[in-house]
Chain A
């Protein structure tokens, strides 16, 4: 798969990507910059540096995969596929840390996840993780950080309330009766979209799925459920396990083609969306290649679907909201305006500017657990900007970002709430 490295050939070493890179901003070390990492990847490709070289993996592992470098590169360097290929080569000779291996193992099969999510929700419902983490500070031990991340997935919040009407104790609503049942002006659906549920999204953010289904319903889109779908494979691809990523991709292509052939696929997770849209490249050499391409072409972020249709006017929601763009939506999918359009359409909602809204928050999949220190350094300017913005709510459309920023705010004892833009839209429809 050296084709992945060929995407680096256009690099002229100009350095324009340096200031866009969150890890360079944190360390100011060329080796932690996109340009430096391109040099490292080229050395790996040419065999000048072995894949088990300590320094090589150290700097490449510290890459967030946020792809902010791609958005600013005048020469159009394709960085994302190259870093995944480099990771794969590194992991082939030096396996991931046990926690990552275990995490990927769990995510590979829905049955393995069930227990983990159930236990997590149970712990979350006690309120203990949140109580322990609140105000514990950003230097708190890793366990407390993880508690904070779990607490950040809690559906009900002080400012925005508990909008969901759900069967208690279960994260999932009734899968067979989706749609905007409660929405005041729900039209008869004139189209359908297959909901991609994902792993973490489904396990801990069922309330966002509920909100998505309702908001789509209000706008005349009936969400179709696809059984047998699995994790998108993004975490596996970023974690140097393209084999696993491809296996999951194949399963998803088969599952969606069987249950909802030709139907648009809608996701509310930026990370999943970027992966799903890359299935064509992932499975380029696979017998399923053609179907994977067609699958990828059908994938839309929920914000794209809603804005393309023209939003049904929501009710008032008097909140000060700052939008933080998930990297995998903004840089990887280049979906930049739609989430803002949605927020701007809500009467009473005041959109406040957030400095560095297009910069990574340091979540990046499992990164915050594997590189906690650098992840924290990357998050710090984000939290400062949020404080300056004066927002009541930060809106961001990706589970990792919701957890990272939510956890950071909780540990810092900040008042701000972190929610998916679609949750706010749903809330506005229900006013």
Chain B
């Protein structure tokens, strides 16, 4: 460790206490990756503030020294967003895990950023309410990370993604100043600054208190599992369900590879392993409407060629079906430890074609592709399995990934649905954004953080944004 970093660690220890600063090189290794370990960066040190005022003091200190920092929640991100490269300091928020208030009559809660998504969901359920955004990683990921990535989840199809559930934020800016965005009680005046912060991937500052919207638990929930002998048929069923105006609570797809992986894990849910794909369709709301929607969805699945359609008979059975789906990505290690997950969105009408094109790309590059994704949102997650020790395969993965992105963009889609850009998707930004777009993004970021110390090097490709001016040069 250099002298400056020793001095810095001591200063930070003065704020948060010695126990909550990590500097030993070996322990820093454990913070070198998030949920996408193909990217790695080792921070100068890790600091665990315990309160908003400690965050503020830490950032002010770093600002005074001109030291960059990166916020981190649970480190389940899938785009390398929470990686900090020395001299950057990692500000880990897991200790800030208190639920500050659950206001049942007004259907909202105030939480610290380190609260785990599933913990908030459980606490809300105690008062008959529900926190709707449910990323598959919800048992581990934090609300702070969800805000930063504008996380989605299976049930965001009907209820909307994280941004639709954030009412207000307390944010510590890169210079340590605490600001309040949005309003807990109704629409604030002026532009939606809280909305602007959601999805900023840690580049605008650190969220230290988050006011979320809670929704009532729906009176009726029905879930069916339909299996198909062709991936295309499943894709067509999705397009038709959406086209008919049915708004399922969730509509998810898993292909044969994903089914096999889940069925060999502790989360085996009884999915048919001989199917080419399954769809999980869930509807919720009032009894009559739900029954009608589920019946219609089932009929559409059958018309599209579904073999069997099975309904979850009990809450436990439904939970099992969902656990299998949600743990699928974590079970990918059963086929290979190295994998890359893509996160493109496409218009739902394009799903059948895009799925076929992706499969074709996989075949051409001799790569195993596993699909498990939010079909109702058109949010694809093709997983490419590979062996990082094989340079040839690694090269094929890079080419295939780009081709997949190009196919999605050409179909009218975009390069990330919910995992964010981080470092991993920066290379695809040019597929959807020109220098002007990037310049505007850079300017907005500069408005929140003129110092550029918050999560540097993420989201905007280096040197791609032209300097921002009121209009483009002709």
Chain A residues in the interface with B (C-beta under 8 A): 9-16, 18-19, 28-31, 33, 35-37, 39-40, 43, 48-49, 53-56, 59, 71-77
A30, A39, A53 — most chain B CB neighbours (10 Å): A30
B26, B48, B114, B139 — most chain A CB neighbours (10 Å): B26
Instruction: Tell me the smallest distance from the CB of A237 to a CB of chain B, in Å.
Output: 24
A74–B266 contact, CB under 8 A? yes
A74 to B335, CA, bound (A): 12
Known: A15-B140, A16-B330, A76-B265. A28 touches B27 (CB 8 A): no
Instruction: Tell me the smallest distance from the CB of B35 to a CB of chain A, in Å.
Output: 6
**Chain B interface helix/strand/loop/mixed:** loop
Which 10 A-B residue pairs are closest in the complex by CB-CB distance?
Answer: A75-B333, A74-B331, A36-B30, A10-B333, A74-B330, A14-B330, A55-B24, A28-B94, A55-B26, A74-B327
Instruction: Tell me the smallest distance from the CB of B25 to a CB of chain A, in Å.
Output: 8
What are 7 A-B contacts defined by CB distance under 8 Å?
A9-B337, A14-B35, A16-B140, A19-B140, A30-B30, A40-B29, A74-B328
Instruction: Tell me the smallest distance from the CB of B264 to a CB of chain A, in Å.
Output: 8
A28–B114 contact, CB under 8 A? yes
CB 8 Å contact bits of B376-404 with A (1 = contact, 0 = none): 00000000000000000000000000000
A31–B30 contact, CB under 8 A? yes
CB-contact partner of A75 in B27, B30, B118, B330, under 8 A: B330
* CB neighbours of A12 from chain B (8 A): 37, 329-330, 332-333, 337, 339
A35, A39, A74 — most chain B CB neighbours (10 Å): A74
A71–B266 contact, CB under 8 A? yes
A43 to B25, CA, bound (A): 11
* CB neighbours of A77 from chain B (8 A): 333
* CB neighbours of B75 from chain A (8 A): 15, 30
Known: A10-B333, A10-B334, A39-B29. A74 touches B265 (CB 8 A): yes
Instruction: Tell me the smallest distance from the CB of B88 to a CB of chain A, in Å.
Output: 16
CB-contact partner of B334 in A18, A71, A76, under 8 A: A76
Nearest to A12 among chain B residues (CB) is: B333
CB-contact partner of A19 in B48, B139, B264, B327, under 8 A: B139
CB-contact partner of A16 in B27, B36, B139, under 8 A: B139
A40 to B332, CA, bound (A): 21
**Chain A interface helix/strand/loop/mixed:** loop
* CB neighbours of B327 from chain A (8 A): 16, 74
* CB neighbours of A28 from chain B (8 A): 48, 94-95, 97, 114
Nearest to A11 among chain B residues (CB) is: B333
Beta-carbon contacts under 8 Å, B1-48 to A:
22, 24-27, 29-37, 48
A15, A53, A55 — most chain B CB neighbours (10 Å): A15
Known: A14-B76, A16-B327. A31 touches B332 (CB 8 A): no
Given A29-B22, A59-B27, A75-B330, 5 more A-B residue pairs with CB atoms under 8 Å apart are A12-B339, A13-B36, A35-B30, A48-B29, A76-B264
Known: A12-B333, A77-B333. A53 touches B26 (CB 8 A): yes
A72 to B139, CA, bound (A): 11
* CB neighbours of B76 from chain A (8 A): 14-15
In the complex, B141 has a CB within 8 A of chain A: yes
* CB neighbours of B116 from chain A (8 A): 19
**Count of interface residues, chain B, beta-carbon cutoff 8 Å:** 44
Nearest to A20 among chain B residues (CB) is: B139
A18 to B116, CA, bound (A): 11
* CB neighbours of B97 from chain A (8 A): 28
A30–B26 contact, CB under 8 A? no
Beta-carbon contacts under 8 Å, B68-124 to A:
74-76, 92, 94-95, 97, 114, 116, 118
In the complex, B211 has a CB within 8 A of chain A: no
CB-contact partner of B333 in A59, A72, A76, under 8 A: A76
Instruction: Tell me the smallest distance from the CB of A12 to a CB of chain B, in Å.
Output: 4
* CB neighbours of B329 from chain A (8 A): 12, 14, 74
In the complex, B322 has a CB within 8 A of chain A: no
A49–B333 contact, CB under 8 A? no
Instruction: Tell me the smallest distance from the CB of B196 to a CB of chain A, in Å.
Output: 28
A207 to B133, CA, bound (A): 52
* CB neighbours of A15 from chain B (8 A): 35, 74-76, 137, 140-141
In the complex, B468 has a CB within 8 A of chain A: no
B29–A13 contact, CB under 8 A? no
Instruction: Tell me the smallest distance from the CB of A327 to a CB of chain B, in Å.
Output: 16
* CB neighbours of A39 from chain B (8 A): 29-30, 32-33
A48 to B329, CA, bound (A): 28
Nearest to A28 among chain B residues (CB) is: B94
* CB neighbours of B30 from chain A (8 A): 30-31, 33, 35-37, 39-40, 59
B74–A18 contact, CB under 8 A? yes
B267–A74 contact, CB under 8 A? yes
CB 8 Å contact bits of B122-133 with A (1 = contact, 0 = none): 000000000000
Instruction: Tell me the smallest distance from the CB of B276 to a CB of chain A, in Å.
Output: 22
* CB neighbours of B92 from chain A (8 A): 29-30
Beta-carbon contacts under 8 Å, B263-287 to A:
264-267
B26–A40 contact, CB under 8 A? yes
Nearest to B74 among chain A residues (CB) is: A15
CB 8 Å contact bits of B254-269 with A (1 = contact, 0 = none): 0000000010111100
Nearest to B140 among chain A residues (CB) is: A15
Nearest to B32 among chain A residues (CB) is: A39
A75–B48 contact, CB under 8 A? no
A28 to B16, CA, bound (A): 15
A74 to B331, CA, bound (A): 4
Instruction: Tell me the smallest distance from the CB of A89 to a CB of chain B, in Å.
Output: 14
* CB neighbours of A56 from chain B (8 A): 26
A33 to B48, CA, bound (A): 15
Instruction: Tell me the smallest distance from the CB of B114 to a CB of chain A, in Å.
Output: 7
* CB neighbours of A49 from chain B (8 A): 26, 29
* CB neighbours of B22 from chain A (8 A): 29, 31
A16 to B117, CA, bound (A): 12
A76–B330 contact, CB under 8 A? no
Instruction: Tell me the smallest distance from the CB of A1 to a CB of chain B, in Å.
Output: 20
* CB neighbours of A11 from chain B (8 A): 333, 337
Nearest to B92 among chain A residues (CB) is: A30
A75 to B95, CA, bound (A): 27
B27–A73 contact, CB under 8 A? no
* CB neighbours of A55 from chain B (8 A): 24-27
* CB neighbours of B36 from chain A (8 A): 13
Instruction: Tell me the smallest distance from the CB of B330 to a CB of chain A, in Å.
Output: 4
* CB neighbours of B331 from chain A (8 A): 74-76
Nearest to A57 among chain B residues (CB) is: B26
A163 to B330, CA, bound (A): 49
A31–B333 contact, CB under 8 A? no
* CB neighbours of B25 from chain A (8 A): 55
Instruction: Tell me the smallest distance from the CB of A57 to a CB of chain B, in Å.
Output: 9
A16 to B329, CA, bound (A): 10
A391 to B207, CA, bound (A): 41
* CB neighbours of A19 from chain B (8 A): 116, 118, 139-140
